[in-house]
Structure 1
Amino acid sequence: MDERRNWPCNACGADLRYEPGATELVCDHCGARQAIPDAPKARTRALNEIDLDRGLADDLPAAQMEEVRITPCPSCGAQVEFHGATHATECPFCATPVAIGTGEERRIKPQAVLPFVLNESQAREAMTNWLGSLWFAPNGLQDYARKGRALTGIYVPFWTFDAATRSHYAGARGDHYYETRTVTRNGRTETEQVRRTRWSARSGWVSRRFDDVVILASTSLPRNYTDGLQPWDLSQLQPWRDDWLAGFIAEGYTVPLADGHGMAREVMADAIRDDVRQDIGGDEQRIDHIDTDWSGETFKHILLPVWMAAYKYNGKSYRFVVNGQTGKVQGERPWSAWKIAFAVILALVVAGAIFAFTQGR
């Protein structure tokens, strides 16, 4: 985790911060604003892909690598990065103090960043609205979240992967048909329709081009949380500059490129299986095997904006994440015991009333 970086204001020397939804840094002390250089220009530099084979072979140009001082959080394992003269900080995921270790590590430099669009108050509103929409969520937690501690803005590391695929498959197509049969029940002869399936062998080819399969490159957050924040509008990616991080935190990746590539291949394989089922057709499909040729594989290392909140309420910990671009929310599902109990009692009362009414009739 990269501690908050400081950018001095040219007017008064106070710290600047990036203003979500803008292309400038703001001084909260004197109100001065400083434009981020090149921010409005074309984003093609941020969207250039890197050859995957070279990345996996650790054969990238020096300009695409950086040396960082990293120490894992002793509590949650988040990667804490240190810059300049900083020797200690606090892990934003679990508030554990972290002191600098020894040595540096060579890592792939972030290639692009998706700047925050929502500010903290907008993210908090999205989170409390989400909590309010949940059935059986405790009202007190929603009120506490609205008034509780500040949300933390974090740039979370991700990999994106591209690939061209051509897959040969073999399987079978199942088509339903119905037969009429005669049965005897309770002394009565009846006819009924019985569904059967006629199977026929199938084989063929399917092709697909994958573009920007997004894979979480961190182990600090549950993957299902960040997967649930999709989709991201990656057309808004900006070429990497430290300025976008002013006032925010950036996490270093803990999922190596090779592991991220393996996860991406699983996502792509699921999509290929769906293509095969559609190509086979029929009412049911059976897939015996799929052989895929992969080509043109590339990747990017990017940072995406996430607002995070962690609360302790009635002795339980709850963690929520908000997409800093769209406001989509994911988190631990809170339950209200008394609301559930009330619903069960109400259901029993209604069922008893219906039973009494039918017995009376």
Structure 2
Amino acid sequence: MATSTQLVCPNCAGTLQFDPTIGKMKCIFCDSVFSQEEAEQFFAQQNEEEEIKESGADWGEDADGMRAYSCSTCGAEILCDQNTAATRCPYCDNTTVIEAQLSGAIKPDVVIPFAFTKEQAMEKYKGYYEKRKLIPKDFLSGSRVEEIQGVYVPFWLYDGSVSIDAEFEAADITDNGTEITRKIYKADRRGNIAFENVPADASKRMPDDIMDSVEPFDFGQLKPFSMTYMPGFLAERFDVEGDDDLERAEKRVTNTAKQKTRATVRHDEVTETRGDYKVNYTKKKYALLPIWYLTTSWNGKQWNFAMNGQTGNFTGDLPVDGTKLGIMTGGSALAAAVLLYLITKSIPFILGAALVVGLIVFLVAKGSMKPVHKATQANEYMAKKVSLVYSTDDYVRTERKKKEQRQQS
């Protein structure tokens, strides 16, 4: 059986945990506070004294892929899967760090510490669903909320650039009242745009769309990885290899590169006629990022919610009360119809406009209850402007079209 590790308070031998409110280690028994540097010294000394040796070869793994560890606080046997890096002892409830999952060749490069406590995360959850007026009443009373968990989720962060070779057809349009003139141009753009720390979660257990929806992270706050940020939280080791996550990151940076390149063509109409965007990776980092994760069970379905443990951004799909949605949609359409009736007596116009208003309200209201999405852009992690090495807008031709004149009665 392999051994787990807990950081012990040098004053009272109690358990030290990372406190997000002060950004330091704090004893849960005597309230002693220690800096990360002090905690790292305690951790190194503790490991040396206990002579903890993890070879990575003898995991005590059973046929189901579970591994057995000995809790360093109470000595109980802890069972967890091969990707768990920090967990709780079911007997003494202390957080235990499985050091071998976060060391050696699989040691994370960087970490963002938690900035919000469990109590703050629960308040965010309550505020999140209380603002949604379309939520069914019995969801609030009938759902079973499982304990919210603070988890360090493994991510790959990608650095690099996108090389660009694109061509556009553009037009400037003028309207003098009787004729529409279109001046056509061929715009060529070549260059590159840099990106840094484009994230892709590396855990199969975490839904990709939910992890995308809690972005962005402030990667200016990345810190070199240290075990001392782990106590008090759960953690996972990556089970998606960095090369396997490349496709997700590549789609995002390519879409943003296209968008930013098109923005350099400053004409009234712009259409891309050819585009070659090649992604070049220069660096890959293994990071642990803070996520508060919560699940609820209602109506035979599991609902998942997550909060960015650094920024407080909360997300999760919510059920929609069909009756409330119908009343909101119908009421909006009726109000629009009454208002338009006072302005115009055209019944066909009023009906059409009211239908459009109702449809817009329906889509916006329903969309507000279902914000979880797959990320398609990487704007927050890319340079503001494309670095162009070649940029021309060559005049091609002029097109003119007479406007139809309405006959006055």
Normalised TM-score (structure 2): 0.62
Checking the alignment, whether the CA contact within 8 Å between 1:157 and 1:304 is kept in structure 2 is yes
Amino acid at match of 2:31: G
1:183-194 equivalent positions in 2, closer than 5 A: none
Checking the alignment, whether the CA contact within 8 Å between 1:173 and 1:202 is kept in structure 2 is yes
Amino acid at match of 1:134: R
Distance across 2 between alignment mates of 1:179 and 1:244: 67
Q: CA deviation at 1:346?
A: 5.3
- The total of aligned residue pairs comes to 303
**CA offsets 1:309-358 (integer angstroms, 9 cap, x no match):** 10112433211001111111111222124433554675688699899999
After TM superposition, the structure 1 stretch with the greater mean CA deviation from structure 2, 316-325 or 4-13, is 4-13
SS state at 1:280 partner: coil
Fraction of identical pairs, as percent: 22
Q: Judging changes above 3 Å, is the alpha-carbon distance between structure 1 residues 278 and 351 closer, same or farther for their aligned structure 2 residues?
A: closer
Distance across 1 between alignment mates of 2:233 and 2:15: 12
Q: CA deviation at 1:169?
A: 1.6
Q: Judging changes above 3 Å, is the alpha-carbon distance between structure 1 residues 142 and 295 closer, same or farther for their aligned structure 2 residues?
A: same
Q: Which residue of 2 aligns with 1:276?
A: 261
Q: Judging changes above 3 Å, is the alpha-carbon distance between structure 1 residues 254 and 179 closer, same or farther for their aligned structure 2 residues?
A: farther
After TM superposition, the structure 1 stretch with the greater mean CA deviation from structure 2, 250-259 or 300-309, is 250-259
Q: Which residue of 2 aligns with 1:30?
A: 30
Q: Which residue of 1 aligns with 2:309?
A: 324
1:294-309 equivalent positions in 2, closer than 5 A: 297-309=282-294
Q: Which residue of 2 aligns with 1:250?
A: 235
**1:218 and 2:203 correspond:** yes
**CA offsets 1:56-75 (integer angstroms, 9 cap, x no match):** xxxxxxxxxx9586989x8x
**1:89 and 2:55 correspond:** no
Q: CA deviation at 1:210?
A: 1.3
Unaligned runs of 5+ in 2: 41-54, 72-76, 85-100, 346-409
Q: Which residue of 1 aligns with 2:161?
A: 164
Checking the alignment, whether the CA contact within 8 Å between 2:60 and 2:68 is kept in structure 1 is yes
1:1-361 equivalent positions in 2, closer than 5 A: 6-37=6-37, 67=56, 88-89=79-80, 108-142=106-140, 148-178=145-175, 199-292=184-277, 297-343=282-328
Checking the alignment, whether the CA contact within 8 Å between 2:67 and 2:79 is kept in structure 1 is no
Q: Judging changes above 3 Å, is the alpha-carbon distance between structure 1 residues 276 and 17 closer, same or farther for their aligned structure 2 residues?
A: same
**CA offsets 1:225-274 (integer angstroms, 9 cap, x no match):** 22221221222222111111102111222321112223222222112111
Amino acid at match of 1:323: N
Checking the alignment, whether the CA contact within 8 Å between 1:4 and 1:246 is kept in structure 2 is no
Checking the alignment, whether the CA contact within 8 Å between 1:111 and 1:301 is kept in structure 2 is yes
| Deviation >4 Å, runs of 4+ | 66-72, 79-87, 104-107, 142-145, 177-181, 195-198, 292-296, 344-358
Q: CA deviation at 1:81?
A: 7.6
Distance across 2 between alignment mates of 1:355 and 1:303: 55
Checking the alignment, whether the CA contact within 8 Å between 1:5 and 1:247 is kept in structure 2 is no
Q: CA deviation at 1:303?
A: 0.8
Q: CA deviation at 1:155?
A: 0.5
SS state at 1:8 partner: coil
Distance across 1 between alignment mates of 2:9 and 2:336: 68
Distance across 2 between alignment mates of 1:158 and 1:215: 5
Distance across 1 between alignment mates of 2:219 and 2:39: 15
Q: CA deviation at 1:216?
A: 1.9
Distance across 2 between alignment mates of 1:351 and 1:118: 44
Q: Which residue of 2 aligns with 1:190?
A: none
Q: CA deviation at 1:302?
A: 0.6
SS state at 1:214 partner: strand
Checking the alignment, whether the CA contact within 8 Å between 2:145 and 2:297 is kept in structure 1 is no
Normalised TM-score (structure 1): 0.69
